[in-house]
Amino acid sequence: MPMYGKKYSIYQPVYDMDLSKLGKTLFASTGDYIDTCSERIEWLDTQAPLDQNRTVIDRAQEMYLEMIKGLVSGTSFNDAEKSVSPGSTFKTFRPFNLEVRQGGMDWTYLGDTMTGWKRLDNIRKLLKSVVEDTIPGDYIETGVWRGGASVYARAVLDVLGQTDRLSYVCDSFAGLPPGDRSLDRNDKNWDSMHWYLAVSDDVVARNFQKFGFLNSNVIFAKGFFNETMPHLKKKSNHFSVMRLDGDMYESTVDVLYNLYDKLSIGGYVIMDDWSWFPSRTACEDFFKVHGIEPEIIQIDKLSAYWKKTVEVDIQYWRYEQNQFKK
């Protein structure tokens, strides 16, 4: 499985990293935790019956996923949590504001994802949709920071019994690229935030480990996307949900041109950076040159997603020649 090049590596951390350096698993398995939640709900129903048309197991699964959501988003830490001010250097902490965090509009201090509750709920919604509709394919996230959103997606897949679907965790693990490919005028200076956005693969693997999700279903692709995506294009199977969080024009075209034809019909693309980001321009240019008009559905102020409804003959020559505009 492992693939190594001068500027990239694709591997399974459970086999290819020293697990003794990744810390302890802090949580019981998904099944054991849900069993414990079910027992508590059954007992609670003898004390104060909850009148609703939901099974105990459904309620236990929701209880478990809400717990994971609170931990990866940092909201479970209450007054211990802070908000870090974005910028090229550390400036100050701001008081934690739950409403701001729910919308994913700040940088967490103690959490493992900046996506906020609405975007995490969207991951759960779309994974549930592809499972119920039997849409084949794995889950991939391109741009993972500390890995919290991918951890949550793995929790959802476990709850849904999808142990055969893989999770691809793709990042440079060194921050954003310098934008020197000159594909869009707004691609400059994103790398200035590497002081907070650069998180090593050891740290991300440790986060999977602490939640009990570091297993053979988790694959890391390390390197800038222009290095890793062409290799994933050749080696991966189908995807059912693709979550793009690369901010920049170049990071977005790297993923779309290499992997969009791997996305199953009925699958979804989630754009974490839709509003006000050059990644949106990359998507719109991709739509224009391929003659497609997917319905864009807003998730929150920043993010959106669409459903793939037609096959697309990818004009890969555009990627090879950096000719992305019509």
Looking from the CA of 154 toward its CB, the CA atoms found within 13 Å total 27
pLDDT score of 73: 98
Mean pLDDT of the residues in the chain: 94
Burial class (CB in 10 A: 0-12, 13-18, 19+), 116: buried
pLDDT score of 190: 73
Residues whose CB falls within 8 Å of the CB of residue 226, separated by 6 or more in sequence, listed in order: 177, 181, 250, 254
**Could you give the CA distance from residue 171 to residue 152 in angstroms, rounded to a whole number?**
17
pLDDT, tens only, 255-281? 999 999 999 999 999 999 999 899 999
- Angle subtended at Cα 302 by Cα 94 and Cα 172, rounded to the nearest 5 degrees: 80
> What number of helices (H) and strands (E) belong to the chain?
12, 12
**Could you give the CA distance from residue 59 to residue 314 in angstroms, rounded to a whole number?**
43
182 C-beta neighbours (distance < 10 Å), count: 11
**Could you give the CA distance from residue 190 to residue 140 in angstroms, rounded to a whole number?**
22
Residue 200, classed as helix, strand or coil, is coil
Q: Is 121 a catalytic residue?
A: yes
| Selected catalytic residue, list 121, 138, 158, 285 | 121
pLDDT score of 289: 98
pLDDT score of 259: 98
pLDDT score of 326: 82
pLDDT, tens only, 73-113? 999 999 999 999 877 788 789 999 999 999 999 999 999 99
Scan for tokens 């741009």, then name that residue: 143
DSSP-derived secondary structure for 86-150: PSSS---EEE--HHHHHTT-SEESSSS-SSHHHHHHHHHHHHHHHHHTT---EEEEE--TTSHHH
Q: Do 239 and 259 form a contact (C-beta atoms < 8 A)?
A: yes
**Could you give the CA distance from residue 323 to residue 317 in angstroms, rounded to a whole number?**
8
Burial 290-312 (b: 16+ CB within 10 A, else e): beeebeeeebbebbbbbbbeeeb
Burial 253-280 (b: 16+ CB within 10 A, else e): bbbbbbbbebbbebbbbbbbbbeebbbb
pLDDT score of 316: 97
**Could you give the CA distance from residue 178 to residue 158 in angstroms, rounded to a whole number?**
37
Which parts of the chain sit beneath pLDDT 50? Answer: none
pTM, two decimals, is: 0.96
Residue 3, classed as helix, strand or coil, is strand
DSSP 57: H
User: Residue 268 pairs with which residues in a beta bridge?
Assistant: 241, 307
**Could you give the CA distance from residue 174 to residue 59 in angstroms, rounded to a whole number?**
39
**Could you give the CA distance from residue 198 to residue 205 in angstroms, rounded to a whole number?**
14
Q: Do 157 and 165 form a contact (C-beta atoms < 8 A)?
A: yes
Q: Do 73 and 108 form a contact (C-beta atoms < 8 A)?
A: yes
